[in-house]
Amino acid sequence: MHCRFGWLAGFVLGPWLCAQQGWFERVLPVSPGADRGPAMVFDSARGEVVLFRGEGTGAQTWNWDGSAWTLRSLNTSPPPRVHAGMVFDSNRNVAVMFGGNNPVELNDTWEWNGTGWSQPSTGQRPAARFLPGMAFDPARGVTLLFGGLGRSATLSDTWEWNGQFWNPTGAIGPSPRLGPGMVFDPLRQRTVLFGGYDTQGALDDTWSWDGNSWSVRTPAVRPTARHGHRLVWDADRNAVLLFGGSDFSINSVAWVWNGTTWSQLSSRLPAFGLARQSPAAAWDPLRRRLLVFGGFGGGQPLGDTWELVADNVANYENYGPACASPAGSPYLGSHQGSLPWSGSTFQAVLEPVSTLPGAAPFGIVGDSSRQWGANWLPLALAPWGMNGCFLLTNPVAIVPLGQSGGRAIWSLPIPSSAFLIGMSFYLQAGVPFPGANPTGIVTSNGCRIRVQ
């Protein structure tokens, strides 16, 4: 069975490209540095992801707009730290960060309003800790904090932050632990907690908080015991999504909690590189995907960016290398988070490009990233004088692109047709740069897009 893509010259997509879902690594020209314990939330007021990282190069705040990371230049910042708790308070439109480690445990509170950080005066506050569980409860207007590793013991206290004061609840619930996952379930109006690590080892218990007390849940099926995992609310599935964590091995399989039971999420997994503990993770409701950054895996801190995309979501991913030009390697990616929805125009941005007269870039559209005729892809172009360059898609169509100010915007109108839903195709660009190599042309990375 084939998916026929009549929109572009009637070419045929292989069946392995139809209706896929799964994990995709974003290959980016600019990215935050490796961090074993970053913190990240989706800022629903401004439609972007906020990342705080504090390992190696000092404290940094980054924004993700769906296509690129941007480092914020700030006069005031929280001190460097790892393993802090962080949530987004959608009632007050601020991100709230508490605690962390650098190299001792911290108990300071910071808030991000989209332009800068501030440290509110809190009065009493929870004891210093790192690896706590944190969730924001919009129904009750409070940030919930549970547990973590303190300076002398593992903790089991529950606190609420209302934007002015930290208040201890005095509730008795889960055992003392570090590294649990926590998130608010808006469908059932409960905060969900799973797992963590106590004096006996990793845990696999599920708890819920109703605003007054903790209740243990006893599902027949549940994820393996772990700590350092992440829970997010997946608005597409109307369920809690669990990713990552570690016990004796580091996990890469995601799980879903529907309020009653856990089930393993069926999704395409990469061959390597995804498993990790203590990553930063946030659900992006605008682009309908889970974003994961960094954490610890393979014996080292990580600095890579991944997305989990459902099978009913338009998506794109970058793949393959670009080759060098006198102005740098040309990068092809989504323009301002554009996605290939049926009936819309998908826009890609290409930069840098030459500003010399007659040096117009061109786009390449193909139906495969694996094969072009008898040639397997990627195809090294060194035999044709393009050292370090690769052909990453089979050329079905060549599209001339205009340029302005050293970059090109590539607009692809997508007809509104059920025939196109679930179909994928592949883009690459050629960029004339006289003197870059004997041909005077270099190639960009590839970009796979899937219509929905």
User: Mind listing the pLDDT tens digit for each residue in 289-336?
Assistant: 899 999 999 899 999 999 987 656 677 888 899 999 999 999 999 888
Cis peptide before 132 (omega within 30 of 0): no
**Is it the case that residue 11 has pLDDT exceeding 50?**
no
- What residue type is 264 in one-letter code? Q
Q: Band the pLDDT of 15: cuts 50, 70, 90.
A: very low
Report CA-CA distances (Å) from 52 to 82, 198, 200, 303, 371: 9, 26, 31, 13, 41
The percentage of residues in the chain with a pLDDT greater than 70, rounded to a whole number, is 92
Could you tell me which of 317, 324, 333, 327 has the C-alpha nearest to residue 409?
Answer: 333
Q: Taken in order 261, 229, 48, 351, is the CA torsion positive or negative?
A: negative
Measured CA angle at 36 (ends 31, 40), to 5 deg? 60
Higher per-residue pLDDT: 286 or 400? 400
Take residue 164 and report the two structure tokens written for it.
């002015």
pLDDT at 272: 64
pLDDT band at 349 (very low <50, low <70, confident <90, very high): very high
Domain 21-310: CATH class, spelled out: mainly beta
User: What is the pTM assigned to this prediction?
Assistant: 0.70
Specify the CATH number of the domain 3-14+316-450.
Answer: 2.60.40
Per-residue confidence (pLDDT) for residue 59, from 0 to 100: 95
Can you give the residue ranges of every domain in the chain? 3-14+316-450, 21-310
Which residue is associated with the tokens 């303190």? Answer: 150
In terms of Cα–Cα distance, which of 149, 29, 164, 143 is closest to 82? 149
Exposure of 170 by Cβ count < 10 A (0-12 exposed, 13-18 middle, 19+ buried)?
exposed
Q: Choose from 14-28, 221-235, 302-316 the range with maximum mean pLDDT.
A: 221-235
Q: Which two tokens stand for residue 217?
A: 């849940």
Neighbours of 447 (CB within 10 A): 27
pLDDT score recorded for residue 13: 30
pLDDT tens, position by position, 52-83: 999 877 899 999 998 899 999 999 999 999 99
Mean pLDDT of the chain: 89
